[in-house]
Amino acid sequence: MVVNHKPVFLHVGCGPKHQDRTPFADKDWQEIRLDIDESVRPNLVGTMTDLSAVENQSVDAIFSSHNIEHLYPHDVSIALGEFKRVLKIDGFILINCPDLQEVCKLIAEDKLTDPAYVSTSGPIAPIDILYGHRAAMQKGNLYMAHRCGFTKKVLQSTLTAAGFSSFVKKRSEHFDLWALGELRHEESRIRELAAEFIP
């Protein structure tokens, strides 16, 4: 008898989102949702810097959307170390975060509080991208505060320092960066996965 196991992705900092709102939506993956906020009803409650609820080399992929900017700069390497620990050797990470280089162009034009785009949460200004979503924080959700930030170069070098080979793409129209990293350092595989998973 052949048992067919679905690959598993750890959705770190999932918030209220589920698999259908991720790049894994149309794929045959099993999702494990992890968040620091119990109110979003994750499978696991925890932080990026302490994934002790997840076994070593137990997941095929990790998806972290707009989370690493919520860490203090010195905690980013700890989180990436935890990602590396729980990831299978042939697995990959998929991260997105604000692109501070693009955001700062608007700030340099004195548009700090002007809407840059409209999200499902309403208008988002450069100040929200830089420091965290003001409306959510005003309602008491201080998990939304941003404590660090990245440009394409900084994100690439941060992933390299953590032991990942990576591909980073700028999406200027959305003021964000997308990165795909893996541990086997196979350039062709990185490009292939990036083409499949990065919008």
Q: Which domains does the chain have, with CATH numbers?
A: 8-98+150-197 (3.40.50.150)
Residues in contact with 12: Cβ distance below 8 Å, sequence separation at least 6, in sequence order: 34, 48, 51, 62, 63, 64, 67, 83
pLDDT at 171: 85
Give 98's strand partners: 176
Q: Alpha-carbon distance 136 to 5, whole Å?
A: 38
Residue 116: both structure tokens together: 């840059």
pLDDT tens, 105-133? 999 999 999 999 998 889 999 999 999 99
Q: Check pLDDT > 60 for residue 98.
A: yes
pLDDT at 121: 85
Give 181's strand partners: 93, 166
- Give the confidence band of 17 by pLDDT, cuts at 50, 70, 90: confident
For 194, the 3-state DSSP assignment is: helix
pLDDT (average), residues 146-175: 94
CA proximity to 193, closest of 64, 94, 63, 76: 94
Q: Check pLDDT > 70 for residue 4.
A: no
pLDDT (average), residues 51-57: 97
Strands (E), the chain: 8-12, 30-35, 44-45, 59-65, 87-98, 117-119, 122-124, 165-171, 176-182
In this predicted structure, which of 11-15, 108-112, 170-174 has the lowest mean pLDDT?
170-174
pLDDT (average), residues 139-159: 96
- Give the confidence band of 140 by pLDDT, cuts at 50, 70, 90: very high
Q: Alpha-carbon distance 102 to 109, whole Å?
A: 11
Contact 92, 7 (CB under 8 A): no
Burial class of 174 by CB neighbour count within 10 A (0 to 12, 13 to 18, 19+): middle
pLDDT exceeding 70 applies to what percent of the chain? Answer: 98
